[in-house]
Every structure is written in C-alpha cells, then in structure tokens.
Amino acid sequence: MGQIITANVATSLYWLGRYIERIEKTLYQVIKAYDKVIDVDKDAGVKLYDNFGIDLKYDNALEFLDIALTGEHSSNMLTLSGFARENAIISRNHLNNASFGEIIALNALFQNTTKAHVIIDYKIIDDAQSLISEIWGEFAKREHKQNNDYFIKLGKLVEEVDFYFRFHAEDEYSEIIVGEIHTILDILSGKTASSTSQSQKQSGTSSDTMSAIYKKIDTIIIE
C-alpha cells in the first residue's frame, strides 16, 4: 500500500525540515558574519541579511547578533523556531518523542531569550546548535524505519539548495544536492530513482532549478 500520510502532515514534515535547516544555516552564517563585524568588515551583517531581503541596522557586533536573532524581521529565530514548532505539533504523531521535545525546546530557548530580554551572546547560539544537532540525530536514527522521514529530508535538502544558491554560484555541490532531491521525489512519487534522477540534472538558472523542484513537489503532495 506504500506510505499512508495526509497531505497536511506531509507538508508539515516538509516545512519542519526546511525551518530546522533554515535556522541551522542562518546561525552558521550569523556566526561567520559576527566574527567579521567585530574587526574585519563592519557591514558583513548588512550584506548577509541583504541575501534574505532584510535591511539590518546595527552599531556594533553584539547589537548585530541581537538584531539578527531577535529583531523584528521575518528571519528572526523566534519566528523561524515558532514555525518549526507549529509544524512539529501538527505532525507529532509521525515524529518520535525525543525529536519533538527538542523542537519544542529550541523554540522555548528563543522564547525565553526574547521574554527575558537577555543579551544575546554566543552561548545561546551554541545551545541552539546543540539542540539542532540532536534533532537531526533523532531523525537520522529513524530513517531506516520510517518512510515519512523522506518529507523531512526533502525539506532539509530543498532549504539547503535554496540557501546554497543565495550564497554561492551554481556548482558541482549544488548539483549533488539537486540530484538527492530528485531521488527522494522519485521515491515519493513511486518511480524508480535511477530512471528520472539522471534526466533531472540541474539545467538553466538556479531559479529554474528551484521552480522545477517546487513544481514536482506540487505533483507529489496533493492537497
């Protein structure tokens, strides 16, 4: 019979994967930019958030960290982890307890930070990264037994390639990720992986590649 899962849960698992990956990748970029803002390039944070279409203003490195993570914009950590939490709640009966708990804890970490007006420092990023590692670890543990994890993995890879395109030119690495995405899409659509993934190699611009992926996802998850 194959996998039994509602479109709503499939979509939630997909977006859960995307948001966790987005948080992880954003934190990684923020740390890199933070280091530069201190004494190499004052505008490194501005340039970074320009990639997200966000106009960031700050006076020093710590303020950059604070505004990047908790400022009033669509890529702050409270918002992103809140979306991850919501998707986890909707799909929780397809997640194991440990991964669900870590996702709730990740959101609680940023909630407490925002509520308590704690000065953002490296420790919070460290704590968040530990939680994210645990979340991915729990997902990885389950992969051999739960087909539903393909949706999480799909979301993770789509976010990864989307991020990659924002920060890098198209290259061999992005091709590898796109190949993996198509393999999963083939599995989910019930096709044999080898028959189509070869033909789905990256072609055209990054925008064309992303459009092709989204189009294929829309044919697989039918609301």
Q: Does residue 193 interact with other proteins by CB under 8 A?
A: no
Element (H, E) at 139: helix 122-142
Site size with other proteins, rule: CB under 8 A: 26
Nearest residue (CB) to other proteins, 34 versus 136: 136
Spatial neighbors of 43 by CB under 8 A, at least 6 apart, are: none
Q: Does residue 1 interact with other proteins by CB under 8 A?
A: yes
Angle, helix 149-167 to helix 122-142, in steps of 10 degrees: 140
Q: Does residue 16 interact with other proteins by CB under 8 A?
A: no
Among 6, 51, 133, 203, binds other proteins (CB under 8 A): 6
Q: Are 211 and 165 in contact (CB under 8 A)?
A: no
For other proteins, which stretch binds (CB under 8 A), given 40-48, 53-61, 172-180, 187-195? 187-195
- Please, what sign has the CA dihedral across residues 55, 59, 61, 66? negative
- Find the shortest distance in angstroms from Cβ 148 to other proteins: 10
Phi/psi for 75 (5° steps) reads -105, 20
Q: Which of residues 29-48 bind other proteins (CB under 8 A)?
A: none
- 3-state DSSP of 38-78: HHCCCCHHHHHHHCCCCCCCCCCHHHHHHHHHHCCCCCCHH
Nearest residue (CB) to other proteins, 14 versus 49: 14
Nearest-CA neighbor of 98 among 150, 140, 126? 140
AA identity, residue 157: L
- Find the shortest distance in angstroms from Cβ 132 to other proteins: 16
Nearest residue (CB) to other proteins, 65 versus 88: 88
For other proteins, which stretch binds (CB under 8 A), given 1-9, 15-23, 154-162, 204-212? 1-9
Nearest residue (CB) to other proteins, 189 versus 205: 189
- In the DSSP assignment, the letter for residue 117 is T
Q: Which of residues 78-137 bind other proteins (CB under 8 A)?
A: 89-90, 92-94, 97, 100-101, 104-105, 108
Q: Which residues bind other proteins (CB under 8 A)?
A: 1, 3-10, 89-90, 92-94, 97, 100-101, 104-105, 108, 188-190, 220-222
